[in-house]
Amino acid sequence: MKTVERASLPGNDFLIIAHRGASAYAPDHTFPSYELAVAMGADYIEIDLHMTRDRQLVAFHDRSIILEGEEHAIANLTLKELQNFLPGRIFNEQLPVMASKSFESLFVPTLEDIFLHFKDQVNYYIEIKSPTATPGIEKELIHQLESYQLLNRSDRFPKVIIQSYNADSLKKVFELAPSIPLVKLYSQDTTSISKGEIRDLEKYASGVGVNHSLVTIDFVNRLHDKGLAIHPFVVNDADDIQALLNMGADGIFTDKPDIAAKVKRSHLREPTKP
């Protein structure tokens, strides 16, 4: 049987991935947040992806929401029910210094809303959330990506990158569309990723995502030796971003793409040390 090669990620650039958009300044996973991220110089907008009870793909981070005082899993709500949730009002309450009246009517967008709005003018970094609760989410995602002609392109950066904490979900995506770069997320200490697990990653993954506080030069080199990129999360401090650049990280997730873009520009202007 012919071995299918895993996709590759850019190895000569530092990707700025807007975590839920420019979510320090606007409600996460809304058009203002995504648009601001692009304007600030983000290379990718990150989309946390859930599937509703009526099998609609939506951009939302948490597994559940509070509606009328009761908690509901996204997987148990219809799209119509979910759109009773107004993320802008929550943002305005939690971050009044950034509040805007225009945010109050914002809704939870579907993935198709996002594709219709941005088309192929941005790059998408999509996290598959709760795949065990929503069987078939991978197949529906690939269907939509194909429908909007976002796969098998020859752009400077891959138009789409997919990530997940769930290895089985990523392997399903690999079977369906091996041209998509896949990133395995980890929540634990990076030292606990065994040699055997890295060998498994080499079969399907293009990179890993870990908490930025756990990244070391040794870990970066260990991954790079196996052809795996590293995209730490979530990094908003300029000094932390600079430190990750110096360690050789391939990109970062940030709520503040403007700060990341400024650090990146400054880094690129620095003369190469002999």
- What are the residue numbers of the active site? 19, 61
- Tokens representing residue 70 in the block: 């009761």
Task: State phi, psi for 222 to the nearest 5 degrees.
Answer: -60, -40
Return d(Cα 138, Cα 132) in angstroms, integer.
11
C-alpha distance from residue 103 to each of 12, 40, 149, 225 (Å): 37, 19, 31, 45
Number of other residues whose CB lies within 10 A of the CB of residue 105 = 9
Residues 58/79, Cβ–Cβ less than 8 Å: yes
CA–chain centroid gap for 106, Å, is: 21
